[in-house]
Amino acid sequence: MTPDICRAAAIPESGPSQLCPLQAAAAYPCVESCDEFCRVALSLLRFIGAAYTTGASDCWEAAYRFADEAPGISDSPLLVARAAALVRILRGGRPCELCFMPPSCRRLSKDEAELMRLLTVARRKQPGELEAIVGRLVGAGKQAAATRAVNALALC
């Protein structure tokens, strides 16, 4: 018998019921639903997100090492730089922090799912849809910069 962790989550009496983190994570797709380029980009974004969260330089080194070892990447330092630029722009243009799962996690957070959708749309070169998704992730002041950063990463 497995414990029902999700039912143990406290639900505030004053507000609507919310999903616990385990239920919320199950609502989003798995890493396997992404293509190879998006999986590489996701790993880099997670390493970079961890670097910002922890301040540990090992996370940056892991990002560069991962990019160096990824198949089909011709300019790994440029790919890491473009992923870092996107994270910096998104962090500065949001009222709350981005939610990145640990690099080894198979599930995507809501933010990661949006980022993977954003990269997929950018790679298909659909500007109208791209701008709509970027608009949901950042405020109006950072929308143009975020769109350029996504396009740069998607075309790397």
Per the CB < 8 A criterion, the answer to whether 32 and 51 are in contact is no
What does the alpha-carbon distance between residue 101 and residue 33 come to, in Å, rounded to a whole number?
16
Q: What is the pLDDT of residue 28?
A: 54
pLDDT in tens, 95-141: 678 889 998 888 999 889 889 988 989 998 877 888 888 888 887 78
Q: What is the pLDDT of residue 66?
A: 95
Q: What is the mean pLDDT of the chain?
A: 80
Tell me, yes or no, if the pTM score tops 0.95.
no
Q: Is 107 left (phi over 0), alpha (psi -120 to 50) or beta?
A: beta
Q: Between residues 13 and 63, which one has the greater pLDDT?
A: 63
Our measurement of the distance from residue 4's CA atom to the centroid of its chain's CA atoms, rounded to an integer in Å, reads 28
Q: What is the pLDDT of residue 156?
A: 80
